[in-house]
Structure 1
Amino acid sequence: MKLENANILITGGTMGIGYATAKLLIGNGANVAITGRDEKRTHKAARDLGAMPITADVANPEDVKRTFHLFMEEYGRLDVLINNAGIGFSKAIDQLTLDDFEHIYRVNVFGAAMMAAKAAKIFKKQNYGNIINIGSTAALKGYEGGSIYASSKAALRSMTQSWQAELRRYNVRVMLVNPSEVTTAFGQPDRQERDDQPNKLRSEEIAWAIKSALQMDNRGFVPELTVWATNPF
């Protein structure tokens, strides 16, 4: 697809992968709206990027509805949904609670699904569209303490495959990008991004992968793309 004048919605776009992706896509001529839960942070990020701000929590169904209403009111057409919003933490199996699962799943699984459901209605009418889900290598191989987060990303991976089967006939490309460890604020209690490390991925590498996947001609798509650090040791 051509990025110039494409209308793109990115959840969790105030920092990290979402922010870097918005910056790269806007730099290539796209119109981008970003969502974030913190109004002040969302508006500041949007000003810095030249994006449209939408203060919203993907875990809130009413916020999901309002997000699409505002986006379509502004742009009239949706070309790409990037399901980037995600949260997580590590916890030993014997310490897990139902509330822990519900907290993570409401964002990583239910929120992503509800955003995709709204986008799919638009895309089916248009007979065209793109969904990119930001997964994780944790979906491919669990890790100690990863019961909740890894399983939430495995659920997202399974949903991605289901949406591919459902939406290809409508010329909708559904893609999954699995980053390995990225030096973002993910999992940080203070929500401050970590400093770059030469042996770790940055948000920019994932943004580049997203941009590259989108720019393939619309006749083809990459169902799943995993990005590793070259030498993490």
Structure 2
Amino acid sequence: MTDLTDKVAIVTGASRGIGRAIALLLALQGAKVVCVARSAEELEDVAQKTAGLAVPADVADETDAQNVIDEAIRRFGRIDILVCNAGVGSFNLLEHFTVADWDQMFAVNVKGTFLLCKAALPHLKAQHSGHIVGIASDVSKRTFQHGAAYGASKYAQDAVLSTLRKEVRSFGIKVSTIYPGLVDTYFNDSRPGSPNAEKTHLKPADIAQAVRYVLEAPTHVVIDELMIHPLTQEY
């Protein structure tokens, strides 16, 4: 198994939910964590708990995304892991979506992944090593009512990561994508901990363990795609 001790890991959307769980677990495994999110106050809390670096940023902003990578390099001199987890979603009939809703989901879910990967790649290629992990969704592989905008953004994010996997493999860089089902978080204005979610949703820690699993795979093992969903989830 690959040792994560002293690996430099950037985690976006790290202030709460899945991103926070990933940041905390990677720190527990010995990684040096760069925590990224828009909320500076919540971000500082998780950075303190991980003994990591807090970089407030909007991943959909090109300058902010580049600054995340630059700060990681300035602080630690390298990047070993990039977890593109930041994501937003809203759900409605297609005819009721606003252009602003559509643009926001594509900006964060797709453009954010693109910008962080683009900024990190020169460093990863120079090292001939590194691992990019995208947190997509099981709706990257299916469709459902009220999910046109979110699903389209996740299909697009999946395409970005799948294509990138083919482009960087010869440089010794891995790209893995995780497709969670329903997760008990603040996503889509939800509140975690409801009795219903206890029975039907994954926990953020479940997704963090999936990330750990793909990161700790031996060097010669490539895990491109990992689907994870609760056994009670209905399709």
Equivalent residue number for residue 122 of structure 2: 121
Match of 1:16 in 2: 17
TM-score by length of 1: 0.95
Give, in whole Å, the separation in 1 of the partners of 2:183 and 2:101: 23
Deviation, structure 1 residue 21: 0.9
Residues 83, 133 of structure 2: 8 Å contact kept: yes
Which residue matches 1:216? Answer: 217
Overall identity of the aligned pairs, in %: 26
Residue identity opposite 2:74 in structure 1: E
Gaps of 5+ in 2: none
SS at match of 1:198: helix
Query: 1:48 Cα shift?
Result: 2.5
| Conservation of the 8 A alpha-carbon contact between 1:185 and 1:194 | no
Structure 2 partner of 1:130: 131
The separation in 2 between residues aligned to 1:42 and 1:193, in whole angstroms, is 18
1:29 is aligned to 30
- State whether residues 43 and 53 of structure 1, in contact with CA within 8 Å, keep that contact through their aligned partners in structure 2: yes
2:185 alignment partner in structure 1: 184
Q: Structure 2: which amino acid aligns with 1:210?
A: V
Higher mean displacement: 173-182 or 26-35 = 26-35
> What whole-Å deviation, never above 9, does each CA across 1:110-159 have from its counterpart, x for those lacking one?
11101011111111111111100000011111111101101101001111
Structural RMSD (CA): 1.4
**Contact 1:31 1:51 (C-alpha < 8 Å) held by counterparts:** yes
TM-score computed with the length of structure 2 as normaliser: 0.94
Q: Which residue of structure 2 aligns with residue 141 of structure 1?
A: 142
Within a 5 Å distance, the mapping from 1:1-233 to structure 2 comes to: 1-188=2-189, 192-195=191-194, 197-232=198-233
Q: How many residues align?
A: 231
Question: Which stretch has the larger CA shift, 92-101 or 1-10?
Answer: 92-101
Contact 2:94 2:149 in 1 (8 A): no
Instruction: Output one character per residue of 1:182-227: Cα deviation in whole Å (capped at 9) or x when no partner.
Output: 00101017xx544461332000111101101110111121100000
